[in-house]
Structure 1
């Protein structure tokens, strides 16, 4: 699917190569459906070790892909992406820490005073 992308600064990762199956990890017999695929399961497993101030990069994530465990060959397209994967933090895509200022007073909206 990502072969159809042409916009700049797009990093694409897919669960399997074109023509290759992407397998489920867990099938819930109670609901009769697969609830997670192997690719997603192992991505989430990696993210469990990442916190909001992590310095893990996209290259770190991609290097964890084990084709034997996943059962497919995840595809990665980087030609539209301007940065090096080794210098692109996961938090650039999946979260970040923002500075928040806590106050005890309501914040005025549109220049008007807001009553509590």
Structure 2
């Protein structure tokens, strides 16, 4: 089992990512509205207001997707996210990572361990 975390910087891409999850058989995810550190430093802390370079890749809001999935689906989910959102190596697109999950309670029986 893996916890997939995807921070998507373009809110308009979320529907495409969720549709891709359904196509892959991934039926559960949590979406959180989030803000990046650059935005917080530039907008919320006056000390850093002059750091314009931080604002070049930050968005007003990001969407963070949390999803517990089978190991076998993790690579396909990451490829799909890149297909929908673009090259994650490019500045300002987003980030995706997975973390191993040792125990799950409260999901569909086939996912619980």
Tell me which structure has the larger Cα radius of gyration: 1
How high is the TM-score relative to the length of structure 2?
0.33
Higher relative contact order (CA 8 A, sep 6+): 2
Q: Which has the higher helix share?
A: 2
